[in-house]
Copies of this chain bind each other. A is one copy, B any other.
Amino acid sequence: MPDSLTGLELRSTVSSDGKLTLSLEPVTLTPPGPDEVVVRVEAAPINPSDLGLLLGPADMATLEPGGTADRPTLTAAIPQARLGMMKARLDQSLPVGNEGAGTVVQAGENVAGLLGKKVGMIGGAMYAQYRKIAARDCIPLPEGASAADGASMFVNPLTALSMVETLRMEGHKALVHTAAASNLGQMLNRICIADGVPLVNIVRSEAQAAILRDIGAQYIIDSSAEDFREKLTDAIAETGATLAFDAIGGGRLVNAILHAMEAAANRNATEYSRYGSSTFKQVYIYGALDLGPTELDRGYGFAWSVSGFLLTPFLIKLGMEGALRLRARVAAELTTTFASHYTATISLADVLDPAVAAAYAKKATGEKYLIDPNR
């Protein structure tokens, strides 16, 4: 029987009087069950999807460091207006971190073969020095791959693959993607090029366009350009895209995409269709880079749908076999199609440093931070 292990774990707490506190708590893990492993976490990314739980809707202007050098804390105020949305998590000390990678240091009897192996993991609570987890939520990394290589092998790769799976399941011909120069967007370009799926990339600057040109993207539309709407309509008409995935959420970009799809559908229309085209247009919102409201002016008939998209329910809908097929592709193409690049590697204590927090909370496209909890 292996010993109990103790390590620090990052916790996020929102108090009922409106204060966010990040802290590092010592946690002692009991030995793994027969189908479990304990992993020393060596790399865990800060994804946009982690920030909601980590920082909540905190006012970033109020960040304040506290605690001791060994056990630092970081606090911030939550605006009163946003506290209502936090009701279900108030006064609970919550672990954070969707995914990560590291070395198996203890293994249950049924999974003893994993001992000493490097694995990627999904399941939350990854911003910790040790993570006990079911072996089925781990994937052994290919020979020669580092923990950093395997840290982001679930959320972004499976989300990008799910977009192409959705296209096939729902019978679309081409895809529109926003915030397209993101880590995920770059993966999506490599997938679509390999699979022959036309992809219309919407970016917000020339610098982002350059990133995608280097990958070989064919359709890159800059939303900051004056002829954005015409160019978008042209690309949609050419590809026949009737499906879009949007990482931004707030504002009028979803609306602009639906207008462009409708205009493209009507380009060849021979008579006036009073209720809009019969071409069905679907936009999935999977992120919230803009927390403002989504505005839909509905000037594109009635054949449209705007929906939330979340990875886990989609994988359940796809079924076990499909999900395993996607995982196998990620493992096989880990350092090519699904390679991630990080702006910086930081320690758990760094996560609680106000200057560092201000940087990773910006969610700047192309920037991504990696935590090494054992640094």
The answer on a CB contact under 8 Å between B298 and A249 is: yes
Q: How far is the CB of A248 from chain B (nearest CB, A)?
A: 11
Residue of B nearest to A314 (CB): B302
Residue of B nearest to A288 (CB): B298
A 271-304 contacts with B by CB, 8 A: 271-276, 278, 285-286, 288, 292-299, 301-304
A53 at the interface (CB under 8 A from B): yes
Report copies per complex: 2
The answer on a CB contact under 8 Å between A88 and B296 is: no
The answer on a CB contact under 8 Å between A296 and B293 is: yes
Q: What interface size band does chain A fall in?
A: 35 or more
Question: Could you mark each residue 206-225 of chain A with 1 if its beta carbon is under 8 Å from any beta carbon of chain B, else 0?
Answer: 00000000000000000000
The answer on a CB contact under 8 Å between B302 and A305 is: no
The answer on a CB contact under 8 Å between B53 and A274 is: yes
The answer on a CB contact under 8 Å between A295 and B298 is: no
A169 at the interface (CB under 8 A from B): no
CB within 8 Å for A298 and B304 given contacts A88-B273, A274-B53: no
The answer on a CB contact under 8 Å between A293 and B286 is: no
Residues of B within 8 A of A52 (CB): 274
Residues of B within 8 A of A88 (CB): 266, 269, 271-273
A197 at the interface (CB under 8 A from B): no
A 20-54 contacts with B by CB, 8 A: 52-53
The answer on a CB contact under 8 Å between A302 and B308 is: yes
The answer on a CB contact under 8 Å between A302 and B278 is: no
A307 at the interface (CB under 8 A from B): yes
A344 to B85 Cα, complex, angstroms? 48
A313 to B301 Cα, complex, angstroms? 12
A339 to B92 Cα, complex, angstroms? 56
The answer on a CB contact under 8 Å between A308 and B304 is: yes
Between-chain CB contacts (< 8 Å), 8 pairs: A293-B296, A293-B297, A293-B298, A294-B298, A301-B308, A301-B310, A303-B310, A307-B307
Known: A94-B272, A305-B308. 16 other contacts (CB 8 A): A52-B274, A53-B274, A88-B272, A275-B310, A286-B302, A292-B297, A294-B297, A296-B306, A302-B309, A302-B310, A303-B308, A303-B313, A304-B307, A305-B306, A306-B307, A307-B307
